[in-house]
Amino acid sequence: MGRLSLLLLAFLTPGAAIPVPPALRVFSSLHLSSSFTSRPGIVMNYSIHYFEQKVDHFGFNTDKTFKQRYLVADKYWRKDGGSILFYTGNEGDIIWFCNNTGFMWDVAEELKAMLVFAEHRYYGQSLPFGVNSFKDSRHLNFLTSEQALADFAELIQHLKTTIPGAENQPVIALGGSYGGMLAAWFRMKFPHMVVGALAASAPIWQFEDLVPCGVFMEIVTTDFKKSGPNCSESIRRSWDAINRLTRTGTGLHWLSEALHLCTPLTNPRDVQHLKDWISETWVNLAMVDYPYQSNFLQPLPAWPIKVVCQYLKNPSVSDSQLLQNIFQALNVYYNYSGQARCLNISETSTKSLGSLGWSYQACTEMVMPFCTNGIDDMFEPNSWDLQVFSDECFRQWGVRPRPSWITDLYGGRNISSHTNIVFSSSTQDSNLAFMMSSPAFRSEECCSE
C-alpha cells in the first residue's frame, strides 16, 4: 500500500490523527500533476451523467441553469464500508482528465471507492450559456473558482440523496494543479462535505508576493540543467541566436525552414510569437517530465527532458547549428509519434485544455505573477508588470484583474486552521515553490528518479 493511499485511509478512519513531521517540504506545479497521470494497463470504465446546476449560486435575481457533466465509475464501490473519491475538475474536458488520471483508479478497489469526475463550468461540455458562453465578459461573469466549488458541493449533495447507500459515505476531494488548488480550497470552504483532500501539484501560493515571481522559471531551468550537461545554457543562448538570425528577410526564411514551421516568419511580431511558443514548450516539458511514457499534453517518451537534452549538449556552436539542435529538441515534444509534417507555433498542447477559459480566469482572480531575468533562469528577461498585464486583460476581455482576491478568499499563507489536506508532488515539479509548508499539513513526494 502506497503512502498516499495510507493517508487517504486515515481520512476514512473516524478519529484517526495524521502525524505531522516538524518540518515539511514545499511542493507544486502549474497545470499538471505527476501524481495523477495515467500509466499503461489501466482500464477506465465509467458512465456519463449530467446535473442541472444554477448559473449563479450566490445571487437571487436569476433562475438560469446549465447541465454540468460528470463521470461515475463504481466497479469497486461498496455500500458497506465504501467511500467516494471526488475529482475536482480543472480547466479542460473532464473525459480527457479522467483518461489521464491514474492514482484514483489505482486505489479504487483498495478503498472500495466510487470515483466521480466533475467537469468544471465553462470547460468541456459544461457551458452555462452554450455557444455564447465566451461571447463577452457578461456571459463569462460566472466563471470563478467560488462558483465551481459551489457546483461541486451541489453535485455531492445530489449524489448522496439519489444514490442508495451513498448518503453516509465519506467523500475525499482529489485534483491536480488548478484542480489540486480546488481540492484544497474545497476542503477549506466545505469541510462538512469532504473529510479530506489530496491536492497534487497545487500552487496555492502562486499569488501576489507570497513567493518571488521568478522562482517558477528557475525551477524549470533546474529541471533542464539536471537532465543534461549544458542543456539549459544552450537554451539560454538560443534567444540571442534567434534575434541575430531574424534581422533580415533571408534569416527569417532560413529559420522558418530550419524549424519546419507550418507558417513562415515574416516580421518581428512573428519572431516574438515564436520565442513565446518555444518558452512555453520548455515549461510544458518540465510539467510532464514523467518517468514513463505518457500522452497527456503530447505523446512523449519517459523522462522527455533527458531526451530533449541529448540534442543540446554544446552551447558554443554556430547560431545556425544551435537552432538546428533546438529544432531536434522541439521535435521530441511535438513529433515523438513521427506524424507531424510541420510545427504549428499556435499550439503547444492538446485542444482538450480550455485555454480560452483559463485566459479569462487569469485575467480576473487567478492572477499568478511570473518573471525571468536570463541569469538565474534560461529564458529571455521579462519583468512582471501588473499594469501592463491589466491593460492586456482589458483589451482582450474588458475586465481588470483582482490580484489579491484569491489570498483574501482562501487565506494565502494563513491557513493553519485547516486539516486533512495532503499536498503531493514530484521533486522535479516546476511549481515546487508555490505549495504550502504549514505544519498543519502533510506533504508527500513521488516520482523522483
Per residue in 132-182, pLDDT (tens digit) is 999 999 999 999 999 999 999 999 999 999 999 999 999 999 999 999 999
C-alpha cell at 277: 511558443
- 313-322 pLDDT, tens digit per residue, is 999 999 999 9
Q: How far is CA 79 from CA 13, 74, 82, 148, 171, in A?
A: 16, 10, 6, 28, 13
Question: pLDDT tens, position by position, for the chain (449 residues)?
Answer: 555 555 565 566 544 433 332 222 222 223 333 345 544 445 679 999 999 999 999 999 889 999 999 999 999 999 999 999 999 999 999 999 999 888 999 999 999 999 999 999 999 999 999 999 999 999 999 999 999 999 999 999 999 999 999 999 999 999 999 999 999 999 999 999 999 999 998 999 999 999 999 999 999 999 999 999 999 999 999 999 999 999 999 999 999 999 999 999 999 999 999 999 999 999 999 989 989 898 888 899 999 999 999 999 999 999 999 999 999 999 999 999 888 999 999 876 666 666 889 999 999 999 999 999 999 999 999 999 999 999 999 999 999 999 999 999 999 999 999 999 999 876 555 544 445 443 334 444 433 33
For 82, list phi and psi in degrees, rounded to 5.
-90, -175
Decide: residue 60, CB within 10 A, 0-12 exposed, 13-18 middle, 19+ buried. Answer: exposed
Q: Report CA-CA distances (Å) from 176 to 190, 262, 340.
A: 18, 33, 29
Local structure of residue 372 (DSSP, 8 states): B
Q: What is the distance between the alpha carbons of residues 311 and 333, in angstroms, rounded to a whole number?
A: 13
pLDDT value of residue 102 = 86
The pLDDT of residue 333 is: 95
pLDDT at 352: 60
Contact 45, 75 (CB under 8 A): yes
pLDDT at 22: 26
Measured CA to CA, the distance from residue 203 to residue 429 in angstroms comes to 10
| pLDDT at res. 429 | 52
Helices 249-258, 319-334: inter-axial angle, 10-degree rounding: 40
